[in-house]
Amino acid sequence: MGRRAVLLVAASLALLAAAPAPTASTRLTIYAASSLTDAFGTFDPAQRYSFGGSSTLETQIRNGAPADLFASAAPLNTQRLFRDGLVERPVTFTSNRLALIVPRSNPAGLTSVYDLKRKPVKLVIAGAAVPVGAYTRIVLRRLGLSSVLAKVVSQETDARAVTSKVALGQADAGFVYVTDARAVADRVTVIRIPASAQPRVRYQIAVVSRSSKKPAARAWIRALLSPRGQAALKEFGFLPIPSA
């Protein structure tokens, strides 16, 4: 964690110390994409979080899970819930990029994303229903590399699971968010994806319609959109809110 991140944590803790500690009746339950784990936990550790694949969290909310907020790694998940009246209008709050990661030992000897086609590799990606999995397939299609899907040995439920398998050396390579790669920078090497192949990754957040804490949930979104919230996301590698 860099010096600015340390200062950010200290500032957040100071604010929490000055404010009344959340109780069971005031603490928010926030369902969020796994790639937000470190950023949200640092920005506001006082809340209750459930991190996972956006598609899985969407299904849980549909089934009545007691969430107050839902932060997805793709607009598709929040917009579907909004269409069905299960969340309030979603708000875009940050963006991200994809990267190819390999273990530090790099057993397959990969130096370019195009090596995935030229060399025998054990590739791990997220499932197609998960945002990072859908984004991965966009990248491969744009690079003319869709055939490497035949080399996939495992399809995971979220970006953190892909990251973990590569970091542990259980796969030769995997597609994850740049922010996830940063979290294991001491165990993986990042191979850059050409800008022309990058998908438009947008994160959205929405208040869950059945929440009994809507004023507090809306205030939390405003805080996330504030300079302090955006700085917290930036410290973990997230990008500014994209223009419409």
Q: pLDDT category, 243, cuts 50, 70, 90?
A: confident
Please state, in angstroms and as integers, the Cα–Cα distance from residue 98 to each residue in 62, 123, 151, 190, 202, following that order.
28, 15, 19, 10, 12
| Predicted confidence (pLDDT) at residue 21 exceeds the cutoff of 90 | no
Of 219, 243, 225, 236, nearest to 47 by C-alpha is: 219
Q: pLDDT category, 24, cuts 50, 70, 90?
A: low
The pLDDT tens digits for 49-75 are 999 999 999 999 999 999 999 999 999
Find out whether 54 and 130 touch, Cβ atoms under 8 Å: yes
Dist. CA 188–CA 186, nearest whole Å? 6
Is this prediction's pTM over 0.85?
Answer: yes
Using alpha carbons only, what angle is made at residue 167 by residues 164 and 169, rounded to the nearest 5 degrees?
110
Mean pLDDT over each residue of the chain, to the nearest integer? 92
Of 216, 191, 54, nearest to 135 by C-alpha is: 54
The pLDDT tens digits for 111-122 are 999 999 999 999
Q: How is residue 36 written in tokens?
A: 């937000």
The pLDDT tens digits for 132-166 are 999 999 999 999 999 999 999 999 999 999 999 99
The pLDDT tens digits for 78-92 are 999 999 999 999 999
What's the distance, Cα to Cα, between the start and end of the chain in Å? 32
Whole-number pLDDT of residue 2 = 52
| Predicted confidence (pLDDT) at residue 204 exceeds the cutoff of 80 | yes
Whole-number pLDDT of residue 8 = 52
Q: pLDDT category, 15, cuts 50, 70, 90?
A: very low
Q: pLDDT category, 230, cuts 50, 70, 90?
A: very high
**What's the mean pLDDT in 175-201?**
96
> For residue 50, what are the β-bridge partners?
31
Whole-number pLDDT of residue 25 = 65
Q: Is the dihedral of CA 41, 47, 52, 53 positive or negative?
A: negative
The domains of the chain, with CATH numbers, are: 3-95+201-235 (3.40.190.10), 98-197 (3.40.190.10)
Whole-number pLDDT of residue 6 = 47
| Predicted confidence (pLDDT) at residue 242 exceeds the cutoff of 70 | yes
Whole-number pLDDT of residue 89 = 98
Q: pLDDT category, 3, cuts 50, 70, 90?
A: low
Find out whether 123 and 207 touch, Cβ atoms under 8 Å: no
Residue that wins the pLDDT comparison between 135 and 15: 135
Of 187, 191, 180, nearest to 130 by C-alpha is: 180
Q: How many CB atoms lie within 10 A of CB 88?
A: 19
Whole-number pLDDT of residue 110 = 98
Find out whether 122 and 151 touch, Cβ atoms under 8 Å: yes
Instruction: Please report, rounded to a whole number, the percentage of residues in the chain having pLDDT higher than 90.
Output: 88
Find out whether 129 and 156 touch, Cβ atoms under 8 Å: no
